Chain A
Amino acid sequence: MNADVRTSLSDLVGNPQYAGRVLREIARVGAAVSPPLVLEVLHAAKNVMGVEQAVFVSYLRGEDSHESYRFLLAADPRWCFEYQAYAWYGSDPWLLYASLEPETICASSIPATTRQQREVLALAERYGMVSVCIAPAGTAGANERVGMLALGSTTRGFFESEGFTLFRVLARALSLELHGWWSKYERSELIRDLRLSEDDLRLLQLEFRGAGTKRASELLGASTASIDSRWQRLNRKLGSPQRQSTARLAAKYGLI
């Protein structure tokens, strides 16, 4: 049963069955085997949570190279097309916040200090994200992938109200599940697309941990010439000029 989206947040979370229903939807994320199936779960979760819009972004920011932005949209698709037409990833105050801070908060607490940032927020509001909850999801270790869940309501002040204390916990749980799913999916997709073998991944890991060619050749049971040749292929596949930066890139993308 879908929650009435006109009900106040306080009334929603006050229902004794609310948290259980939401958690049951969140638990379905792990069983999804493809992005469309995860999107189905996101749609179901947002309906049960009583919000009208939901966008999840899994992203890696970089310095003009190797950036990655993966959107799941249970929201007005026109927002996404306009947003991507302007390529506003660098100006998005919500993405910036999620890159730096772990706390789930109301978006109204995130300042927009530049004209472009204000335009990004105005676009979101135009497409139904009037009151918004932002739930970041980070990753431990060298993986720099970040997740951000934005849950939106057309009702002004919807999240800036009583009930947000419980709601934010559920939003964070959903964001973390989605982020975990995308991290695993992106990793397997990259391994498939770049045709990386187990030995490739072990070699990348050894380099990342500081093992040189001689040590790698001992551990992998391969000649140093073979190791050098493998590095040439890996550098080409990952678009990186030398093995140290290739290994760092592999770590950044969660491959090792």
Chain B
Amino acid sequence: MPSASTDVIQGTLDMLILKSAALQAMHGFGITQRIEQISAGVFRVNPGSLLLAFQRMERAGLIDSEWSITENNRRAKFYRITDKGRKQLKEHTREWERRVAAIARLLEA
């Protein structure tokens, strides 16, 4: 089955990033890995869109960033969810579940 690109709906990528960052503060590649792992390869993350999304969401106040030094003595930027981001995630989840339920009803009818 071909992988769906998360680019299709920008809101989807935002939601996935928020969910990953909610579990634990992570750097960019780590979030990519988490999304791809948990979705079992269904979603592939475009790195360019990811980094752009980070910038957008950080400015909107949904995530916070922090620089730290990794074991390899490299600078890495870690992203953490904020309270505002948590609220947004909850709303997105609720909206998503509503839509899924509606589509399920349509398909069964």
Are A and B interaction partners? Answer: no
List residues of B whose CB falls within 8 A of some A CB: none
